[in-house]
Structure 1
Amino acid sequence: MSTQPAAVTETTTVVPLTSEYPLARVDLMPPEVLADRRFKRTKGLLALGVVGTLALCGGGYVWAAADADAAAEELALEQARTAELQAEAAQYAAVPALIASVDRAQTALTTAMASDIEWYRYLSQMGAVTPDGVWFTSVTATSTPVVAGAPALSGDPLAPADAVGEVVTTGKALVYQDVATWMDNLDGISGYDHVLFTNAALNDEGETDPWVDFTVTTKVAPTAYSDRYVPKAE
Structure 2
Amino acid sequence: MSQTTKSMLPTVARRRGNADSAAARVAVDSAERVRRQSRGNANEIVIGRRPSVDLLPTEVLADRRARRVVRRMWAGVVLVAVLVGIAIGGADLLGTQAHDDLTDAQNQTLSLLRQQSQFKDVRDTETGTVLREAAQSVGGSTEIAWQPYLTSLKSSLPAGVAITGVAIDSATPLEAYAQADTPLQGQRVATLTIDAQSPTLPSVPEWLDAVKGLTGFVDATANSVTLDETTGTYTVNMTIHVDDAAYDGKYQDKGE
How far has the Cα of 1:142 moved from its partner?
Answer: 2.4
CA distance in 2: counterparts of 1:142 and 1:152, whole angstroms: 10
Query: Greater RCO between the two (CA within 8 Å, min separation 6)?
Result: 1
Question: What is the SS of the residue equivalent to 1:196?
Answer: strand
Structure-2 separation of matches of 1:136 and 1:163: 22
Is contact 2:142–2:172 with CA below 8 Å preserved after alignment?
yes
Q: 1:202 to 1:155 in 2, by over 3 A?
A: farther
Displacement of 1:176:
3.7
Equivalent residues in 2 for 1:25-40 (5 A)?
A: none
Distance 1:177 1:213 in 2: 9
SS of residue in 2 equivalent to 1:177: coil
Describe the shift of the 1:154–1:145 C-alpha distance in structure 2 as closer, same or farther (beyond 3 A).
farther
- Residues 151 and 115 of structure 1, relative CA distance in 2, 3 Å threshold: closer
Q: Secondary structure at the match of 1:216?
A: strand
Kept after mapping to 2: 8 A contact 1:144/1:166: no
Give the unaligned 5+ runs of structure 2.
Answer: 1-110
Counterparts of 2:139 and 2:169, CA distance in 1:
16
Relative to structure 1, the CA distance from residue 142 to residue 101 in structure 2 (aligned partners, 3 Å threshold; closer, same or farther) is: same
Higher percent of residues as helix: 2
Structure 1: where are the runs of 5+ without partners? 1-83
Query: Which residue identity does 1:157 align to in structure 2?
Result: P
Query: Alpha carbons of 1:146 and 1:97: their partners in 2 closer, same or farther (altered >3 Å)?
Result: closer
Question: Matches of 2:177 and 2:243 in 1, distance apart?
Answer: 17
Tell whether 2:127 aligns with 1:127.
Answer: no
CA contact (8 A) 1:143 1:164 kept: yes
Give, as a single letter, the amino acid of the residue that structure 2 aligns with 1:107: A
Shift of residue 169, structure 1, vs aligned partner: 0.4
How far did residue 140 of structure 1 move? 2.0
Q: Please, what TM-score do these two structures have when normalized by structure 1?
A: 0.53
| 1:94 counterpart SS class | helix
Which residue is 2:143 aligned to?
116
Report the Cα distance in structure 2 between the residues aligned to 1:111 and 1:151, rounded to whole angstroms.
Answer: 16
Count, aligned residues: 149
Distance 1:222 1:139 in 2: 20
Are the equivalent residues in 2 in contact too, given 1:145–1:165 (CA < 8 A)?
A: no
Instruction: Name the % identity.
Output: 22
In the TM superposition, what is the alpha-carbon distance from 1:224 to its structure 2 partner?
0.5
- Shifted more, 87-96 versus 97-106: the winner is 87-96
The whole-number CA distance in structure 2 between the counterparts of 1:147 and 1:87 is 42
Query: 1:231 is matched by which residue type in structure 2?
Result: D
Letter in 1 for 2:149: Y
How far, CA to CA, are the matches of 1:86 and 1:230 in structure 2? 34
Residues 93, 151 of structure 1: CA spacing in aligned structure 2 closer, same or farther, 3 A cutoff? closer
Q: How far apart are the structure 2 equivalents of 1:173 and 1:180? A: 15
What SS is found at the alignment partner of 2:154? helix
